Amino acid sequence: MMEQFLENLVEECRGYIGEGNVATYIPELAKMDPNQLGICVISTTGKVYRAGEYMNPFTIQSVVKTIILLQALIDNGVDFVKERIGVEATGKPFDAINMRAGSLESQHINPMVNMGAIAMCSLIKGKTEKEKFERLLNLTRKLACNDKIEVNQDVYLSEKRTGHKNRALAYLLKSYGLIEGDVDEVLDTYFKACSISVNCEDLACIGYCFCSHGKLPRKEERVFESEYATYVNAILTTCGMYDGSGEFAINVGIPAKSGVGGGIMGVVPTRMGIGIFSPELDEKGNSLAGIRVLEKLSKEMYLSIF
């Protein structure tokens, strides 16, 4: 019954395809087929429900900021991370330069915008950048219950070739002492992280881990401390959907993170994890049809935490 409901929801929301645009500032993303829409839901009972193109791969993009934040918390603790990366919404696009009065301070950025995520990459522990990225990739695999997750090399190289604004952001962070280590190496970790290839079920499983405060689906194994889930979920609620987070909170009302690859990871605390994919984006950089699915799902199932 649940899967039929999701199938009907997906078919209904296909009507929104054509109203947005795929990301083009990363050339490889411009090649995506816009006519895709999929969803996976994993409930706390362990049931998995799927509909549409839920198995089609896409790059995680900014959804990985959630995992970068978690890795930084695991490696350094809440107090250390909070001192270096702010928690307030910027009210600006995800790639904006957020300075005030000619100064850049940690409080001016949050973990869900590019500047904050790049700074967090420098907080991941490891002797080399390769080791740091491998730890992040392994955490992603663990959360997704999928040890086959890899980097999409074509997207990674495309991002690396064209990521000039992210380079500018990173060097600005370095000039104000907000980034540790070699800038180009930190950026390489960030570009690779954004290029990790996933599907809806992977995102739903990751969302489940945050909804269960650190536990994997159908297992009692704890991956991370409950307090980290509280921290991450709060930031996802206020900042996870870029400068559309306020409207999303009203219309959907759950912690969530989007990416310009078309993915959305949703967290319904104590109830379910949600993974959605549709590559056409709205003007804020969020999956247009994906948000419509979440709006209708939230209304029908009373998901809003508010």
**What DSSP letter does each residue of 19-76 carry, written as one string?**
SSB---SSGGGGGS-S---EEEEEETTS-EEEEESTT--EE-GGGHHHHHHHHHHHHH
Please give the radius of gyration of the chain, using alpha carbons only, rounded to the nearest integer.
Answer: 18
- Partners of 206 in the β-ladder: none
Query: Of 260, 267, 268, 293, which one is the catalytic site residue?
Result: 260
192 is catalytic: no
Backbone CA torsion sign across 132, 137, 142, 147: negative
Question: Residues with Cβ < 8 Å from 224, sequence gap 6 or more?
Answer: 70, 73, 74, 209, 214
Measured distance CA(47)–CA(86) in Å, rounded: 36
Phi then psi for 222, rounded to 5 degrees?
-95, 125
Query: Of 16, 22, 64, 65, which one is the catalytic site residue?
Result: 65
Query: Of 242, 245, 258, 267, which one is the catalytic site residue?
Result: 242
Query: Of 49, 54, 156, 190, which one is the catalytic site residue?
Result: 190
195 is catalytic: no
Query: Of 16, 62, 122, 278, which one is the catalytic site residue?
Result: 62
CA angle 232, 135, 47 (to 5 degrees): 55
130 is catalytic: no
302 is catalytic: no
Q: How far, in Å, are 45, 135, 212, 226, 263 from residue 270 at the CA level?
A: 10, 27, 6, 12, 22
65 is catalytic: yes
Active site residue ranges: 62, 65, 190, 242, 260
